[in-house]
Amino acid sequence: MDIDLADLDFWRKPLKERHEAFARLRQLEHPVFFPEKKVPLLRSGKGFYALVRHADVVEASRNAKVFSSEPAVTNPEPPGWIKQVFGESMVNMDDPRHARLRRIVTRSFSPRMLAGLQSDIETACAQIVDDVVNDGPRDFVDQVAARLPIHVICDMLAIPDELRAKVHQHVDISTAYTGVRPSLARSVQMAGQNMLALLALQRMVIKLGHERVTDPQGDLISLLVTANPDGEKLTDKELGSFFALLLVAGNETARNTMAHGIKLLTDNPAQRELLTSDFDAHINNTIEEMVRYVSPIMQFRRTVTQDHSLRGLELKKGDKVVLFYGSANRDESVFPDADSFDITRDTKPHVGFGGPGPHFCLGANLARQEMRTMFRELLTRLPGIRSVGEPELLLSNFDNSVRSQAFTF
């Protein structure tokens, strides 16, 4: 087969070619096994089975007892010392440890908490558009898509104003390492920068956490370091890991969907016209269709905990499977004419926020809220806004990230 999902060269191919390759894989009777290549600074195993059909991704997402998130969900697996230095992220945990952490942090994303953020999100969107009008259009990512999610998260955690520029800088460095590295030397350099950025973020929030224990401010950090009704709270390492996860994952989903989204609305004028003809009627499904079409996080890995039959494929304990969300979201058996952007389609089954089950994206509703508010502000105040040319994409096998996108209004 001329398709090799374990080869980083595959992820350098244009999106259209990659989608065509996944379409071919979906037609095969069983999931395909891909031997892993050695990646500098990362642990390589024997390989993985690629789950590319929607039904397979959903089954693996729901059945966490068989398809484990431990020891890690990234592909290839990072070395074990990473956990010792940075602590363990909840995305790499199974129950009961995962359930405990999710129970503590879920109250931070309750409908009441999110409703309380709406005014701040509206203010932030208005300021961002004000700045675009004053400065002129240059790069949609830098001026719009990258600004809002980080601003909202910093507001949620009451990050002092003087630290926010550093937060932006550290997040940009952290997410850049998800890209394809061209050489060992570059890998070493970027890994070092990534680790220093993550450590700086963790130290920052742990220091703030200590201050908020004695001086709570009603913010997210204060909430997480004080006990919930069951007496549970986050430890220093747990707080640091959650902060890093929130900043990276919470930023990337909304940022990448908005950046791809402005291009989709430009390339599909009939869909844009339908949206603007009745924004309130169509915006929610538009957001879901954007997330389906974009699949901002392209893959996660699972480890099989016991022998299991998946669509006639006999998986053995210890086997690795990789859930390719972008392929599942274009499965023709679930989404007719899947390569078309259609804001009227039934998007309910999409897995752009992860499949159903215990690891469904905790911040999905916050991301939806941010995107809904930003597109309202943009399309109301800048009705002629549109992308110009093709986006510059990050070379990555994990993060469907737009590095830059020219635009005008």
Average pLDDT over residues 203-230: 86
Judge whether residue 43 has pLDDT over 70: no
Average pLDDT over residues 43-47: 75
Q: pLDDT tens across 93-119, in order?
A: 999 999 998 888 887 788 888 999 999
Average pLDDT over residues 268-294: 98
DSSP 294-326: H-SB-EEEEEE-S-EEETTEEE-TT-EEEEEHH
Judge whether residue 41 has pLDDT over 70: no
d(CA 16, CA 352) in angstroms, rounded, equals 18
Determine the pLDDT at residue 191: 53
Judge whether residue 42 has pLDDT over 70: no
If pLDDT is split at 50, 70 and 90, which confidence band does 219 have?
Answer: confident
Residue labelled with tokens 């809220």? 369
Q: What percent of the chain has pLDDT over 70?
A: 89
* Higher per-residue confidence, 81 vs 293: 293
If pLDDT is split at 50, 70 and 90, which confidence band does 178 have?
Answer: low
The whole-chain average pLDDT of the chain stands at: 88
Determine the pLDDT at residue 86: 52
Amino acid residing at 165: A
Determine the pLDDT at residue 181: 47
If pLDDT is split at 50, 70 and 90, which confidence band does 193 have?
Answer: low
d(CA 20, CA 23) in angstroms, rounded, equals 5
Query: What does the block give as tokens for 119?
Result: 């005014």
Cα dist. 56→31, 176, 334, 347 in Å? 9, 30, 12, 18
d(CA 157, CA 152) in angstroms, rounded, equals 9
If pLDDT is split at 50, 70 and 90, which confidence band does 184 have?
Answer: very low
Judge whether residue 328 has pLDDT over 50: yes
Query: What does the block give as tokens for 14?
Result: 């244009």
DSSP 358: T
Lowest-confidence segment of 24-38, 165-179, 195-209, 336-350 by average pLDDT: 165-179
Query: What does the block give as tokens for 79?
Result: 């070395």
- In sign, the C-alpha dihedral spanning 216, 222, 226, 230 is positive
Determine the pLDDT at residue 188: 46
Domains of the chain, each with CATH number or no CATH: 8-408 (1.10.630.10)
Beta bridge partners of 393: 402
Judge whether residue 146 has pLDDT over 60: yes
Nearest to 201 by CA among 277, 89, 126, 298: 89
Determine the pLDDT at residue 396: 87
CB 305 within 8 A of CB 317: yes
Average pLDDT over residues 267-279: 98
Q: pLDDT tens across 341-371, in order?
A: 999 999 999 999 999 999 999 899 999 999 9
Judge whether residue 133 has pLDDT over 60: yes
Determine the pLDDT at residue 299: 95
Q: pLDDT tens across 49-81, in order?
A: 999 999 999 999 999 999 999 988 887 776 665
Average pLDDT over residues 77-91: 66
In the chain, what's the furthest Cα-to-Cα distance?
61
Judge whether residue 177 has pLDDT over 70: no
If pLDDT is split at 50, 70 and 90, which confidence band does 39 have?
Answer: low
Lowest-confidence segment of 18-27, 100-109, 191-200, 299-308 by average pLDDT: 191-200
Amino acid residing at 339: D
Determine the pLDDT at residue 110: 85
Determine the pLDDT at residue 297: 93
